[in-house]
Structures are given as C-alpha cells and as structure tokens.
Chains A and B, each alone.
Chain A
Amino acid sequence: MLTRTDMMALTPVILVCATAITVMLGIAWRRQHAVTVLVSALGLNTALLSLFLFGELGTVRTPMLVFDSVTILGMGMILVSSLACATFSHAYLDGFPGAREEFYLLLLCAAAGGMVLTAADHLATLFFGLELLSMPLYGMLAYTFRDRNSLEAGIKYLVLSATATAFLLFGMALLYAQTGHLDIPGLVAGMSSGVGPWALAGVGLVLVGLCFKLSIIPFHLWTPDVYQGGPGPAVTFLATASKVAAFIVLLRIVEAIPAFHGAQAQTLLAALALLTMLAGNLLALLQANLKRLLGYSSIAHFGYLMVAIVVADKLAVETSGIYLITYLITTLGAFGVVTLLSSPYGGEDASALHYYRGLFWRRPYLAAVLTVAMLSLAGIPFTAGFIGKFYIIALGVEAQRWWLVAGIVVGSAIGLYYYLRVTITLYLMEPGMQRRDAPNDWGLRAGGLVVLLLAVLMILMGVYPSPVVHWMSLLSLAGS
C-alpha cells in the first residue's frame, strides 16, 4: 500500500491530475478562456513547487514508480514546457472560433502522462504513461480540425502511434513470457542467468516502440507532416515534453536491462544513432517550412542524444541531463516564436520560411530570439546548444566511439548550413511580401515574456553554465 512518503513523492502528479479535473469541471460549469489558463498555470506552478519541496526526499520507490534525481529533473522539464505551452496557447487560441478550453485539459492530461513516464519502473506504468502522453496529443494536434492539415496531423499521429504501441505491447508480452516479471528490477533479475531469445526479441520490440516516439530514423516518417500540420502549441509540446519523457524512460531501461549491453545490441544502437544524426540533418537541408525544418532538426538532436544511450554509464546520465535542458530551452524558444507569429489563430500556422523574410525589420526582438535559438540549435559557442554538444562529444571521445564522434561533427557541419539559412532569411529586406505578424503588444503578453526569458536563458547557459553543470553532476539513476 501507499505510505506517507509515497504520497509525498506522488504529489506533483496528483496535483497535475487534480488541475485537469478542476479544468474539466470548470468547463462544465462556465466557459472562460482566461480563467482556464490561470487555473492551469496555477496548478502547474504548484506542482513545480511541490516537486522542489519533495525532491529533497532522495530516492523513493512507490509501487511501480521510482522517484530519483533523473525523475525529478524530467518532471521539472515537463512542467516547465507545459507551462510555456499553456502561455503560448493563450495567445494562439484567442482567435480560434470553436471551443478553446479543452486544449488545456488535454495539455494537463498529457503532462501527467509524461511525468508518470519519467518515473516508470514497471512495464504497466511505462505503457500507461506513454498512452496518457500520446492520447491527449492526438486531440491537441487535431485541435484546429477544420484546417485539413491539423486533422491530418492528428490522424497520422494516431494511426502510426497505435502501430508503435502494438510493437511495444508485443515486446512486453515476450519479456513477460521469458522472465515472468513486469517490473524492471524483476526483469533484470530474470535475465541474470542469460538473455534468452524471447527476451532479446522483446527488448527489440520495446525499442521500436520508444524509438517511434523519439522519431529515431527509420521510425521517423510521421514527424515532418505532424510537425507541419499540428497547431503551434501542440507541436511545441510534442517536440519538448513528449520527447524528453520518452528519452528518459529509454535511458532508464537501456541502463537497467542487460540485453542492451551485449556487443550486437550496442552496434545496433550506435548504427541507429549515426543514421539518425546524419539523415536527420540531410533531410532538413532543403526544407522551405520552418516547422518541418525544426522537426528534422529535432530528429538530428535525438540522434546526438542516442550517443548517451549507446554509452549508458554515469557520465552518460549527466550528459543527457545537460543536453536535454539545452534542447528544451532552445526548442521552446524556436517554437515559441513560430507560435507567436501565428497568433491569434487564423488558419494554417505561419510556418513557411517566406513569412520570416525581413522579420528583423518588423519585429527586431522576436527575430533576435529566433536567431539565438537557431545559433543554439547549431551549437555555436556562447549559446546553450554549445554546452550540450560539447558534453556529447566529450562523452563520445571518452568512450572511444570514434564513428559516433565523426557523425556528430559531420552532422553539426551540415546543420550549420540550414540553421544559418533561416537566420539570414530573417534579415533579408523584401518589401511587398505577404506577411503574417505577431500582435503589436506581443512583448507585454505572457507568451512574449516567456520567449524573451528563454532567449536570455539560452545565452546565460552558454556563458555561465557551471550552476547547471553542477546540478547535473548530482544526477544518477536509482539502482545503478
């Protein structure tokens, strides 16, 4: 049964779920967009606060969940990105003709799912966390469903995600058939006498299911269309919180389960990483749509992050923490600008690159934020992205994975081209182009402030990274 400590550790998840219920009851009583946003933000902030309070407890194991420092970090990142998405969607949904409040309900449910996923220590919580993360996302992606692209994005994600889930479930069934356990410590114990063929097939299928969520190549085919079609705030959530949660659970099971430590499994993971970082960058080269480009760029970034999965030691956990934080801040910033430019909602998002031509001359600060985000994604020194990339390369060098290090270097060189192409577009003068623009008072609104804050963080982390580095050096997975 649940003890007091268990309840305290579970408080952030419970708070987010309670906020979702409150929002639901509020919708049933009276529809108020601004109040709904306030309630959601209040709930997420309270959860974040409780996370800091109860993060002091140390490692807590409740039935089926484990709360260690990685869990706390993951939950914190999911809450921060949910908060950012809630503020972005406040501006975005202002112009939406249909019901607006349900979006926050879905957002809160998805956040709860992601938080459970980062703490998953049992295949049942892994599955339910992943589903609770994905199910609201279908609704969020198809939220502006009268726009064909949005509906297409939602349905595409629904069908392909269900296929990936089928793989995941079948893998879990095989793991259970081999070991007779569903909890991860039990699985590890069951494989102590040697990894059987069924367990090997099982972990392979589980890997497929999780790689789909991370859009690791060759499981990436859904990414560009879904990123392009979905409404801005939903895609922001998909690119940040959903990926962070899936990555943390993948890191946890790869670190724990011995089937991933064999030479062949290592080769397979390394090949996936190399393929993902190279192909992701190559595919992004000729994109004329910023959201698509950012989609491919996120594929490439998770290719870099796969290096941490391949190495999977203490330093790898620290590296993943740092890289995930830099990725989160940068991606939130980039998608935040795209969402602000498309706010308030008026048909398809302003994501084609030509909307951004000459942005600097109209909205200098917004263009500056996007510039910093692009430089950070490219990994230019004095931005957050550089620190992350530095750590990943250091990790690859230390583990003597020369192929992967070469892949990162080549991938970054290719990446530089398209990130800079976007940056140059911002400063080109082109009168008479069709334009969509952010509202004039964007900088005074919550979404604008969040974007500016993120840009400051990107630079601050690049110039003065030691507090974050110190914090990350304390990270460790429970039981390893």
Chain B
Amino acid sequence: MELAFYLSGLVAIVATLGVIVGTNAVHSLLNLIVSLIAVAIVFFALGAPFAGALEVIVYAGAIMVLFVFVVMILNLGQGADEQERLWLRARTWLLPAALSLILLGTLLVTLAAGDGGQMIGGRTLTAKAVGTTLFGPWLLVVELAAMLLLAGLVTASHVGRLPRDRRDDRKGGD
C-alpha cells in the first residue's frame, strides 16, 4: 500500500508539472486527467474509497472529458485534420501514456498482492460516513458551496455574454 501511495503521488506531481509546462491546451488536459486519476489512487490508498471514486467519476470522467471536447470542438475548421494529426504524434501522448501505465501497474500489483481492503492508516471512510457528515454538521458548508457555484455561474454567464450583433455574426458565419 505504501508503494501505491508514494508511486501515485509521484505520478501526480510529474503529470501536474506536465500540465503547467505544456503550451497546448489539449496536451495539458491529457496530463491533468492522469494527474486526477493518480490523486484518486492516493485517496484509495488513504482509505477514502468514496472520495477516490468521486475523483475518477466527476473530475477525470465528467469535467475533464467535457473540457477536452470543448477545446476540440472549438478548434473545428480549416486546419482541423492537420491539427488532429499533430496531436497524435508520439511526443504528445508518450508522457501521459507512460504515467497511466505506471498507475495501472500499481493498481494491478496492489490487487495481486491481495491487500485490497487495506490502507495506510486510520479507518475506511464509507460513502455513508461522508454523507452523514456532509448533511449533518457540515450542512452549512454544503449550502455555502451551492451559493458559491451560483455566484460562479452568474459571473461566467455575465462575462461570457456576447453583444447581440456579434452573436448574430457567429450564427451566420457557421
């Protein structure tokens, strides 16, 4: 378990470094997905399977894939094929792929070693425990998070609003 923890922690750091030094948005996003999955394995190793699963489903699954799609869709147009070919070069996917392989190896080794239900220390936090904490004493924080998301959403919708004439231009152009 210790090995899984440290190895995925290292992978997370390397992948995140890849995110911030990358100049292409799609390359950075690939690295970010790997980094999030590595953090999920760290959560599993720490005995928080619920947080780990959420990290994979929500962050790596929903949010990041959405990001990648949006970036790719926005780049449609004349040079799209060319661009696609450039993205498929080995330089782009080699680092994320290698890091993902390390993660997969860690996972398989841990499973094969047979200490599936174990963790580094403390006790396992189940989904039920997380739920009763969130909607018991932490209820206020959950509500605050809701207000926070509302504020973020309103900000994004206001600042992202195009003036009427430019919006029409775009509709016509496509």
Chain A residues at the B interface, C-beta cutoff of 8 Å: 1-2, 10, 17, 20, 24, 62-65, 98-99, 102, 105-106, 109-110, 112-113, 116, 124-125, 128-129, 131-132, 135-136, 138-139, 142-143, 145-146, 151, 154
Contacts and interface: CB of A to CB of B under 8 A. Distances in A.
Interface in B152-174: 152, 154-155, 157-159, 161, 163
Nearest to A143: B158
Contacts of B152: 135
A142 B154 CA distance: 12
Contacts of B109: none
A17 B145 CA distance: 12
A63 B151 contact: no
Contact of A139 (B140, B143, B154, B163): B154
Contact of B144 (A1, A63, A132, A151): A132
Contact of B138 (A64, A105, A131, A154): A64
Contacts of B148: 109, 113, 128, 131-132, 135
A98 B161 contact: yes
Contacts, number: 80
Closest 10 pairs (CB-CB, A-B): A139-B155, A63-B137, A136-B151, A109-B151, A128-B144, A135-B151, A102-B158, A132-B148, A145-B159, A124-B141
B70 to A, nearest CB: 19
B80 interface: no
Given A98-B161, A102-B158, A142-B159, A132 B151 contact: yes
A136 B140 CA distance: 19
A374 B111 CA distance: 70
B114 interface: no
Given A128-B141, A142-B159, A143-B158, A17 B147 contact: yes
B140 A20 contact: no
B136 interface: yes
Contacts of A145: 158-159
B151 A110 contact: yes
Contacts of A20: 147, 150
A451 B40 CA distance: 54
Interface in B110-160: 136-141, 143-145, 147-148, 150-152, 154-155, 157-159
Contact of A64 (B137, B145, B161): B137
Given A105-B150, A139-B155, 6 more contacts: A24-B150, A106-B151, A109-B150, A124-B138, A125-B144, A132-B148
Chain B binding surface SS class = helix
A128 B152 CA distance: 13
A65 B139 CA distance: 12
A109 B147 contact: yes
Contacts of B150: 20, 24, 105, 109
Interface residues of B, number: 21
Chain A binding surface SS class = helix
Interface of B: 136-141, 143-145, 147-148, 150-152, 154-155, 157-159, 161, 163
B149 to A, nearest CB: 9
B31 to A, nearest CB: 18
22 contacts: A10-B140, A17-B143, A24-B154, A64-B138, A64-B140, A65-B140, A102-B154, A102-B157, A102-B158, A105-B150, A109-B148, A113-B144, A125-B144, A128-B145, A129-B144, A131-B148, A132-B148, A136-B154, A142-B155, A142-B159, A143-B158, A154-B159
Contacts of B151: 105-106, 109-110, 132, 135-136, 139
B141 A99 contact: no
Nearest to B157: A102
A171 to B, nearest CB: 19
Nearest to B142: A128
A125 B140 contact: yes
A139 B158 contact: yes
A99 B145 CA distance: 25
Count chain B CB atoms within 10 A of each CB in A1, A110, A128 and give the residue with the most.
Answer: A128
A15 B6 CA distance: 47
A20 B143 CA distance: 13
Nearest to B158: A102
Given A63-B137, A142-B159, A154-B159, A132 B147 contact: yes
B144 A99 contact: no
Given A17-B147, A24-B150, A116-B144, A139 B138 contact: no
B43 to A, nearest CB: 14
Contact of A99 (B136, B147, B155, B158): B158
Nearest to A150: B159
Contacts of A64: 137-138, 140-141
A142 B158 CA distance: 9
A442 to B, nearest CB: 27
Contacts of A151: 159
Contacts of A65: 140
A146 B161 CA distance: 11
